Amino acid sequence: MSRAADRLKVVLNHLDRSHGAVRASFTSAQNVSYHHHPQAFQYTFDTDLLTPEQRIAYEKDGFILIRNLVSDEDIDQFRKEFERICKREVKVPGLLVMRDVSIAKSEFVEGEKAVTKLQDFQEDPELFRYCTLPQILKYVKCFTGPNIMAMHTMLINKPPDTGKKTSRHPMHQDLHYFPFRPADRIVCSWTAMEKVHRENGCLVVLPGSHHGTLQEHDYPEWEGGINKMYHGVRNYNPDHPRVHLEMEKGDTVFFHPLLIHGSGMNQTKGFRKAISCHYASSDCYYIDVKGTTQENISNEVKELAAKKYGVDDTISFQDTWALRGRLVQGERTSM
């Protein structure tokens, strides 16, 4: 804890000094790309990677799917590391292992079959390699710009549904969880570790929903139960056009943190695996979520941090992010 506390002090001092400057000097994607494309782009930078069509698609839809971006070899290595973690052959500092709520109380489920999700694997060199893959960062840079932080990491092992529909992930906006801005300089990369389709609960997205604002989130009223912290947008409208993102192993989707998305039930016998990372420009700044719609999740996270890691009130919701974030490219300017 003392090393973490030291690191925190450095971060906080730095934040005090740089906040105003960062806010003032933020360049919009539009300004940077203006000379190349007279069309105004709000969400992407021109790095010679995205085609104009891809940029327009992200503006319009809030996501782009890149086929075959991560190799089978890499994914097989991530899967092996996941197995080692589940068998407790390696211990990873700071790692959060979540079990599905419907099997959490069962004594008989062991190893990989007990794990729904790993979070915060930034201290596992093998899994964290995913967040540093050059072919991923090349895309990330189009959304964040050159200074890139890996802010949140997950390996999702969506279990076969036990019949209570708890394997669903309600429709949500990831920004609900993040006390930093601006939203347009944050992006999620989500890579299928095997074929994902409707039957095993692929991602479901509401195209264009990133144009809206951050909505109120809460636990949906689902009879069979709901996993801890799986908040969904309140007043979810099931009539909004949805797209099911069916993907092959290695396919990767990049999406905006305001994009409303979730995933359906896993109706197969297999555990549906995906690995993901949320990136943000290190030029982003932390915000105070007190009095906002994010207050409910920040209280839950603080409670969890208190229980699990014994951190006290002096560590804020923002601090928990500064401690977990890792620079993966460029300079750590603010975050």
Ligand X SMILES: O=C(O)CCC(=O)C(=O)O
Which residues bind to ligand X, rule: CB under 6 A? 154, 156, 158, 169, 174, 203, 261, 263, 274
Q: Are 257 and 173 in contact (CB under 8 A)?
A: yes
Q: How far is the CB of 102 from ligand ATP (least distance, A)?
A: 15
Q: Which of 168, 185, 210, 273 binds ligand ATP (CB under 6 A)?
A: 168
210: nearest Cα among 250, 167, 254 = 254
Give the binding-site size for ligand ATP (rule: CB under 6 A): 13
Contact call for residue 103 and ligand MFK (CB under 6 A): no
- Report in angstroms the alpha-carbon separations of 97 from 88, 114, 121, 132, 277: 11, 9, 10, 22, 16
| The entry of ligand X, Fe ion, ligand ATP, none that residue 168 binds, CB within 5 to 8 Å by partner kind | ligand ATP
| The entry of Fe ion, ligand ATP, ligand MFK, none that residue 232 binds, CB within 5 to 8 Å by partner kind | ligand ATP
| The entry of ligand ATP, ligand X, ligand MFK, none that residue 158 binds, CB within 5 to 8 Å by partner kind | ligand X
Instruction: Give the DSSP H/E element, type plus range, for residue 262.
Output: strand 261-263
Q: Does a cis peptide bond (omega within 30 degrees of 0) precede residue 38?
A: no
Instruction: Give the DSSP H/E element, type plus range, for residue 125.
Output: helix 125-132
Contact call for residue 117 and ligand ATP (CB under 6 A): no
> How many CB atoms lie under 10 A from the CB of residue 86?
18
Contact call for residue 230 and ligand MFK (CB under 6 A): yes
**For residue 58, what are the contacts with CB-CB under 8 A and spacing of at least 6?**
43, 44, 50, 64, 254, 256
Task: Name beta bridge partners: 97.
Answer: 118
| The entry of Fe ion, ligand X, ligand MFK, none that residue 119 binds, CB within 5 to 8 Å by partner kind | ligand MFK
> How many CB atoms lie under 10 A from the CB of residue 208?
16
Separation between Cα atoms, residue 42 and residue 64, nearest integer Å: 15
Helix (H, G, I), strand (E, B) or coil at 245: strand
- Which C-beta is closer to ligand MFK: that of 71 or that of 299? 299
- Site track 249-288 with ligand ATP (rule: CB under 6 A), x = hit: -------------xxxx-----------------------
Query: Which residues contact Fe ion by CB under 5 A?
Result: 174
How many residues are present in the chain?
Answer: 335
Contact call for residue 198 and ligand ATP (CB under 6 A): yes
Q: Residue with CB nearest ligand ATP? A: 264
User: Which residue stretch of 52-60, 135-143, 163-171, 290-298 sits at the interface with ligand ATP (rule: CB under 6 A)?
Assistant: 163-171
Q: How far is the CB of 30 from Fe ion (least distance, A)?
A: 27
Q: How far is the CB of 301 from ligand MFK (least distance, A)?
A: 5
Contact call for residue 159 and ligand ATP (CB under 6 A): no
Contact call for residue 56 and ligand MFK (CB under 6 A): no
| The entry of ligand X, Fe ion, ligand MFK, none that residue 210 binds, CB within 5 to 8 Å by partner kind | none
- Report in angstroms the alpha-carbon separations of 157 from 6, 160, 176, 272: 34, 9, 22, 5
What is the 3-class SS of 134-185, one letter each residue? HHHHHHHHHHHCCCEEEEEEEEEEECCCCCCCCCCEEEECHHHHCCEECHHH
Contact call for residue 225 and ligand ATP (CB under 6 A): no
User: Which residue stretch of 68-76, 92-100, 207-215, 242-250 sits at the interface with ligand MFK (rule: CB under 6 A)?
Assistant: 92-100
Separation between Cα atoms, residue 305 and residue 325, nearest integer Å: 16
Contact call for residue 192 and ligand ATP (CB under 6 A): no
Contact call for residue 86 and ligand MFK (CB under 6 A): no
Separation between Cα atoms, residue 241 and residue 259, nearest integer Å: 13
Q: Footprint of ligand ATP on this chain (CB under 6 A)?
A: 168-171, 198, 204, 220, 232, 236, 262-265
